[in-house]
Amino acid sequence: MATDELIIETDFIHLLQEPDLESQPAEPFLKGEAQRFAPYSRFQAHQWQAQLNKHESELRPIIEPHLSRAARNEKHPVLDFLFRYYSFRPQQLLRWTPGSGIILCDASSRDFPDSLGFRPVPEGRALDLARFPKKRVPFLWWVFRLNRELLIRQPRFSCFGLHEWAMLYRSGEPRHETIPLRVSTSTIEQVVESHPLTCTHFDAFRFFSPEAAPLNGITLTRLTSATHEQPGCLHASMDLYKSCYKLYPWVSSTLLRASFFLAKRARIVDMEASPYDVRPLGYNSIPIETESGKALYIEHQRAIHDEAQTIRQRLVDELRFLIKEISSLSQSTNQPSSEPESVELEGL
């Protein structure tokens, strides 16, 4: 079992007492996309074909150069992260899905085969929610609860992207050998030692050098990672992409694509604020060792947070619908429900 599926209940007991987010209006999202969330909405053929074409046309300009580089065994120290740290294959990312609760009118099995989770319906094709893997239901709840919680947690904008600096602190081993440092090792040490480390994201903290880890204000572990996650973190915003692709095809490609491009944007800011010199790759530098650089980093961080929260709200909406439908199907077939016993569906 993957490590991100191990911690399902530990950090979320308190969420059961949180106010119902269903009463909070969703923010506007991606103009031009067909309206969702009415159970089993219908996409006419021209609608889903347009969305499919849009999905591919927006993603190919980044996926195809990546595949070309990979064929030449050529590394990209910034963008490879999106395909190597995140394990979703490029061809899967390109394959459009409407998500749950959508009927694709006039679609055929050649367009949307049974092997991808679709089934025939009188008007065309739709995802067969009865085929959602029972073993994935606890993980579905985990993602729902985490993102619902992150919608109401207070963001913090005081880390200044120092995790990349902490990874190099007194390590003597750059993590990206193909790009030079833009500052000296003594400057890295001075910056780390003169700023409080306030990392809240375990999957950044776990790469800190052994000398830097004790300097962090919080000792992070996998078991407590959800407790400390906060929505101002660039990595929390990037991981929206992971939440979407780990629930593919049940989450819409509209969200998958939006979260992928947000992850790309956050990754670029992440590296621009690092001690590495990414300017030869066509990017800028955010010198967080200066006051102006800190201000610029926070500006980017706030903008990414705002976009992430819009995507997060819609992800919560999609997962709420999916959980309700799966529960309804389970009850109609007299199967025991797979959601955590302590959770009431009324809270959705």
How far apart (Å, rounded) are the C-alpha atoms in residues 80 and 75? 7
Confidence of residue 110 (pLDDT cuts 50, 70, 90): very high
Burial 211-224 (b: 16+ CB within 10 A, else e): ebbebbeeebeeee
pLDDT band at 333 (very low <50, low <70, confident <90, very high): low
- Residue pair 307/135 in contact by the 8 Å Cβ criterion: no
Rounded to whole angstroms, how far apart are CA atoms 32 and 208?
Answer: 42
Measure the CA–CA gap between 103 and 98, rounded to whole angstroms. Answer: 8
What is the tens place of the pLDDT at every residue in 231-285?
Answer: 999 999 999 999 999 999 999 999 999 999 999 999 999 999 999 999 999 999 9
Q: Which residues of 81-103 are buried (b: 16+ CB within 10 A; e: fewer)?
A: bbbeebebebeebbbbbbbbbbb
* Type of residue at 101: G
The first and second tokens of residue 330, run together, are 């389970």
Q: Measuring CA to CA, how many Å separate 146 from each of 2, 97, 149, 200, 248?
A: 17, 24, 5, 14, 18
Structure tokens at 3: 């490590």
* Mean pLDDT, rounded, of the chain: 86
Yes or no: say if 193 and 201 are a contact pair by the CB < 8 Å rule.
Answer: no
Interacting residues of 329 by C-beta distance below 8 A, sequence separation 6+:
129, 130
Is residue 124 classed as helix, strand or coil in its secondary structure?
strand
Q: What are phi and psi of 257, to 5 degrees?
A: -65, -45
Choice among 30-44, 112-126, 269-283 with the minimum mean pLDDT = 30-44
Please return the burial class of 285, using the count of CB atoms within 10 Å of its CB with bins 0-12, 13-18 and 19+. Answer: middle
pLDDT surpasses 80 at 14 = no
Is the pLDDT at 100 greater than 70, yes or no? yes
pLDDT over 80 (residue 34):
no
